[in-house]
């Protein structure tokens, strides 16, 4: 091992590429790279040259190029991965092991396996998005290259490069991949015809897999599975290809701390560089249209307090009465001390209002969604999920480790086709009622008919529909007959109901199962009884008085008509019913510039960017409420037209 501190050395990248000819065509013979200190450059060049010219290659090297580049940034030090061995008797068993691990992350593991065993050989790796099977590398023939890493585990790494050591070099490469932001797992089968081992790197362990292919098989490949919610493909690729890393046992706690700090700073800086950092404003008033923040007054068009019930006196009075009677805290989980008469009342009111036998109340909509999906789905369930589903629904599928098939937005034919192809024991169709980014209403009735014809369960998250659409505000399912209602209706109390919390409307059997086995319900402290009382009061208010619902729906219709006439939304969106209106903008930088200019004019409008929407498809997201006036809406439309068509017409697009 090196005796000096490796991060104080001026490190160099030494690369070797050897080529020859095969059938009169250029042929890659050998290639290697290492990060080395100045004192090791000579022996490294000699070792790499010896490796290029060594006998035993399929083709003799006719040209050897060695390049040296001094690093301009300090390498990150990471530990090598711990290793294990998976003995498989033959390629069939080995590939089944690959499929079993892949199925944790992708809906079609056989497709990823084909990249490893049948696809055209590429020098780099395929980058695949977990949950969708989507290929993300910019050039599928080139793939993603993993470069700029050095070995701190040997005393003379330069000399050792003279001979290829499959296992050792693979562990080094996999260690860098595993340390990259957003990477979940890596799978590799060597394209060396006579090297019959591969590896799986998952959960921080490198596992060698024997007998992955027959001796003489020239096929091979690598697949890197990534989570794009943690890092975008460009950030991951840049880290793998350009960020220097030194790999060896971490021997000092200070090195570990530095490594962690550098890792976190790198993630944050990459997020900022992509224009994705958020700086929320701080409110000094309630969520009224004429709101006040620490930056001054603002005409608010980004609040989900759609009906203004957060300031309704009847709701506030119920909460005040309850805090005096039951206190401010639940004191525990729902299964210990956390269930009060207020919780029972909230669940009774929700279930009766929305027409279900039971409602299970939790601390937030996000928690209710994750807890419900994690309970219903598992690796033996295929989830058919709409491409525009909320992050909480996506996270629920991931936590359940269910096989997830993502279908195009609101595409009933795609859902029908996906259900035809289900091979698991059970299937579940997952959608929103009113979509959180566009405000369009899902065709729930037709969807339920298709799903039930296939024996599938239907779960609808109507967080933005309950209280806003339907003749009396009962959401996207209000007018549906019993045969077309979803099996599970998810909702939240933090939007139109003006309080907090989330809930699942279900039958008696599922309600009992959830109260005993849903992890988000069992292992979380219950919401405050004060919150539960506010929810019950809000529902009771809407059961007897729908004037606010009517006002909201009138505002939505007027705003959509005016925005369509101003060519700010497509004509097809003019008749959508949801209180969320999507204004397409494009690049993140243009959306942020529009948001800032609107704020300068006194309007608070959200610029929604990746990962809430696709990269490069940023939007301005308008949220209308029952308390907006005709004048408020006129100011909004005029300002949007001027900002998007005038002031920002020269902004990058």
Smallest CA-to-CA distance from 150 within 221, 69, 209, 220 is with 69
Binding-site residues for substrate, please?
A: 278, 390
Binding-site residues, please?
A: 278, 365-366, 390, 436, 461-464, 492-495
> Counting Cβ atoms within 10 Å, is residue 525 exposed (0-12), middle (13-18) or buried (19+)?
middle
Residue pair 251/78 in contact by the 8 Å Cβ criterion:
no
The C-alpha atoms of residue 317 and residue 569 are separated, in whole angstroms, by 41
Q: Map tokens 């949950």 to a residue.
A: 131
Q: What is the DSSP string of 458-504?
A: EEEE-TTTTTTSSTTS--TTTT--GGGS-SEEEEESSSTTSS--EEE
The C-alpha atoms of residue 132 and residue 386 are separated, in whole angstroms, by 11
The C-alpha atoms of residue 369 and residue 372 are separated, in whole angstroms, by 5
> Counting Cβ atoms within 10 Å, is residue 19 exposed (0-12), middle (13-18) or buried (19+)?
middle
Binding-site residues for pyridoxal 5'-phosphate, please?
A: 365-366, 436, 461-464, 492-495
Q: What is the DSSP string of 537-593?
A: HHHHHHHH--HHHHHHHHHHHHHHHHHHHTTSS-GGGGG---SEEEEEEESHHHHHH
What tokens does 494 get? 């933090």
**CA-to-CA separations, 158 to 34, 51, 169, 221, in angstroms, rounded:** 8, 11, 13, 27
């Amino acid at each position: 091992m090196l005796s000096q501190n490796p991060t104080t050395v001026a490190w160099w990248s030494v690369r070797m590429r050897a080529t020859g000819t095969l059938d009169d065509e250029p042929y890659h013979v050998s290639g290697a790279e290492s990060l080395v200190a100045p004192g090791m450059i000579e022996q490294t060049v000699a070792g790499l040259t010896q490796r290029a010219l060594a006998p035993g290659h399929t083709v003799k090297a006719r040209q050897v190029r060695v390049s040296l580049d001094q690093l301009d940034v300090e390498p990150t030090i990471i530990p090598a991965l711990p290793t294990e061995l998976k003995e498989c008797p033959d390629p069939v068993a080995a590939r089944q092991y690959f499929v079993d691990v892949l199925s944790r992350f992708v809906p079609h593991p056989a497709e990823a396996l084909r990249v490893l065993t049948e696809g055209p050989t590429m020098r780099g790796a395929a980058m695949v998005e977990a949950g969708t099977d989507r290929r993300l590398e910019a050039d599928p023939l080139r793939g993603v290259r993993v470069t700029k890493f050095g070995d701190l585990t040997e005393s003379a790494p330069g000399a050792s490069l003279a001979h290829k050591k499959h296992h050792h070099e693979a562990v080094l490469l996999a260690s860098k991949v595993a340390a990259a932001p957003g990477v979940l797992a890596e799978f590799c089968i060597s394209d060396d015809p006579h090297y019959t081992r591969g590896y799986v790197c998952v959960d921080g362990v490198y596992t060698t897999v024997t007998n992955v292919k027959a001796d003489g098989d020239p096929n091979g490949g690598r697949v890197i599975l990534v989570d794009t919610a943690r890092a975008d493909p460009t950030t991951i690729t840049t880290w793998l290809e350009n960020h220097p890393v030194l790999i060896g046992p971490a021997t000092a706690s200070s090195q570990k701390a530095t490594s962690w700090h550098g890792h976190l700073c790198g993630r944050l800086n990459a997020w900022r560089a992509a224009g994705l950092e958020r700086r929320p404003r701080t409110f000094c008033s309630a969520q009224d249209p004429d709101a006040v923040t620490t930056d001054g007054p603002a005409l608010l068009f980004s609040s989900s307090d759609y009906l203004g019930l957060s300031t309704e006196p009847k709701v506030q009075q119920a909460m005040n009465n309850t805090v005096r009677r039951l206190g401010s805290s639940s004191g525990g989980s729902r299964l210990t001390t956390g269930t009060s008469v207020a919780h029972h009342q909230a669940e009774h009111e929700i279930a009766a209002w929305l027409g279900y036998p039971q409602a299970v109340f939790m601390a937030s909509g996000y928690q209710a969604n994750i807890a419900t999906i994690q309970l219903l789905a598992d690796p033996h369930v295929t989830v058919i999920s709409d491409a525009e589903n909320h992050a909480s629904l996506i996270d629920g599928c991931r936590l359940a480790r269910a096989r997830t098939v993502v279908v195009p937005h609101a595409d009933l034919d795609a859902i029908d086709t996906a259900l035809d192809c289900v091979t698991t024991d059970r299937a579940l169709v997952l959608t929103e009622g009113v979509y959180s980014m566009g405000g369009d209403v899902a065709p729930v009735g037709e969807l339920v008919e298709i799903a039930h014809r296939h024996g599938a369960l239907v779960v609808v998250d109507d967080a933005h529909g309950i209280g806003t659409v339907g003749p009396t505000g009962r959401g996207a399912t209000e007018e549906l007959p019993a045969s077309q209602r979803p099996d599970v209706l998810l909702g939240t109390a933090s939007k139109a109901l003006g309080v907090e919390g989330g809930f699942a409307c279900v039958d008696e059997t599922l309600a009992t199962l959830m109260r005993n086995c849903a992890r988000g319900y069992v292992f979380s402290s219950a919401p405050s009884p004060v919150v539960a009382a506010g929810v019950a009061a809000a529902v009771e208010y809407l059961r007897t008085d729908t004037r606010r619902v009517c006002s909201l729906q009138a505002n939505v219709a007027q705003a959509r008509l005016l925005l369509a006439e101003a060519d700010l939304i497509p004509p097809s969106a003019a008749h959508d019913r949801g209180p969320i209106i999507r204004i397409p903008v494009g690049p993140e930088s243009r959306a942020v510039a529009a948001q800032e200019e609107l704020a300068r004019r006194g309007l608070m409008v959200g610029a929604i960017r990746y990962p809430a929407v696709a990269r490069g498809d940023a939007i301005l997201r308008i949220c209308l409420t029952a308390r907006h006036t005709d004048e408020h809406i006129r100011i909004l439309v005029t300002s949007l037209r001027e900002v998007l068509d005038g002031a920002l017409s020269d902004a990058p697009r």
